Chain A
Amino acid sequence: MKYICQKDYLIKLKNDMLLQFSHQDICMVLEDIDQIFKDGSKDGKSEQEICHELGTPTELARMLKQDSHNNKLKVILSIFYILIGIAILRLNFHIYNTFNIFLGCVLVIVVPVYVWNLCGGRILFKLQQNPIVFDWKIKIMVIAMSIFVVMQQAVLILINVSNEIMDVNSKIELLGGMFYMSNAFLLILIGITLYTTYILYQGNLLAVSMLFFVMGGFFSSLSYTSYCARLDKIGGDIYLCLLPYILGGVFSLCFFLYIRKREEK
């Protein structure tokens, strides 16, 4: 594979070094390689020529690994954290019978930060090689998610407003609709999460912002489905399910503004 530019090379090197080296080591190596590119450019060499001089990122990572401590602990810890996360979720359902919204709020923040760290987000920040790419795929994802949120909330408002007018059967039908709609949305969100993680891994920092938004949608929808599954629990507090949405949205916006400000500097 040929690397046409410095950014591709550095991102590939970061990915090859992830989980095998400490973040500090990766940052140091990437800064050095970045410097080599800068010096080469002063020397009149093209990025492609320097890539050729350095050899492939995979080969470079392999050579560096020979003298580095293997960071298998990180992989084991990652699996351990994921298992603990699943156990907490399971326990939460067992105790409350519904998905606890406040736990959802915590996860809205924890999951993106964890994924960001796992994909080398801190390194990408340090590199400052990644201008914000608000590409059409992200735009479509944001618009589609926003439309769904509006639809979900419209159904909810309809259920609550027409409480007096509607008969029980229509209400159950509407709730059932919302239940299936939210479940389908959950599946789509899993797909979006995987895709967003992939683009973050490929060096698009904006994906972190998207991840906050996606997680907000994920945990809110999870709350809605668990509420709708238990008809007797439907009451005024169903609006609390909105909390992960709001939190995810706020964090998403803050992060977006933060990286934009950083880029301007």
Chain B
Amino acid sequence: MEHKIVWEIVEFCVLYQFLTNDYSGYDILIKMRTLFPDINGGMFYSVLRKLHTKGFIEIYFNSHQEKKYKLTKIGESHLIISINNWRHVKEIARKIGVD
């Protein structure tokens, strides 16, 4: 259960990164490692693959032939729902006194 929650949070965080920019697998690994230093780096790549399988992000090659990931329309819709859910959870937490 604990693992599932961590996975969901990491998935949300990774997807959120794509809202503003496109990233390579390495960029995501480095960004996430600074946010979650205790989590195995392999997890971020696994999450990235899962998001790709679900169709939330897509692959393209830039002018330097580097593999990059970008958010898809489905990914964007999913992210909006996730952000709303997150706000809802935060609100409930605030109501019960968790800062």
Interface residues of A (CB under 8 A from B): 29, 32-33, 35-36, 39-40, 43, 52-56, 59-60, 63-64, 66-67
Q: Please, what's the 1-or-0 string for B49-89, where 1 marks a CB less than 8 Å from any CB in chain A?
A: 11001000000000000110000000000000000000000
B29, A35: Cβ atoms closer than 8 Å? no
Residues of B with C-beta under 8 A to A63 = 40, 42-43, 46
Please indicate the chain B residues that have their CB under 8 angstroms from the CB of A67 in the complex: 46, 49-50, 53
Residues of B within 8 A of A35 (CB): 24-26, 66-67
CB-defined contacts of A33 to chain B, threshold 8 Å: 45
Q: Is B92 an interface residue (CB 8 A)?
A: no
The tally of CB-CB contacts under 8 A between chains A and B is 57
Checking A29, A54, A56, A66 against B29 with a beta-carbon cut-off of 8 angstroms, the contacting residue is A54
Q: Beyond A32-B49, A36-B29, list 9 extra A-B contacts (CB 8 Å).
A: A35-B25, A36-B45, A52-B41, A56-B42, A59-B42, A60-B40, A60-B42, A63-B42, A66-B46
Q: Which chain B residues border A53 with CB–CB below 8 Å?
A: 29-30, 33, 41
For B, the interface residue count at a CB cutoff of 8 angstroms equals 18
Cα of A32 to Cα of B43 in the assembled complex, Å: 14
Contacts of A39 in B (CB 8 A): 24-27, 66
Closest chain B residue to A42, Cβ basis: B26
B residues touching A (Cβ–Cβ < 8 Å)? 24-27, 29-30, 33, 40-43, 45-46, 49-50, 53, 66-67
Secondary structure at chain A's binding surface: helix, strand, loop or mixed?
helix
CA–CA, A90 to B40, complex, Å? Answer: 51
Q: Which residues of A have CB within 8 Å of B45?
A: 32-33, 36, 54, 60, 64
User: Is the Cβ of B49 less than 8 Å from the Cβ of A40?
Assistant: no
Is A40's CB under 8 angstroms from B42's CB? no
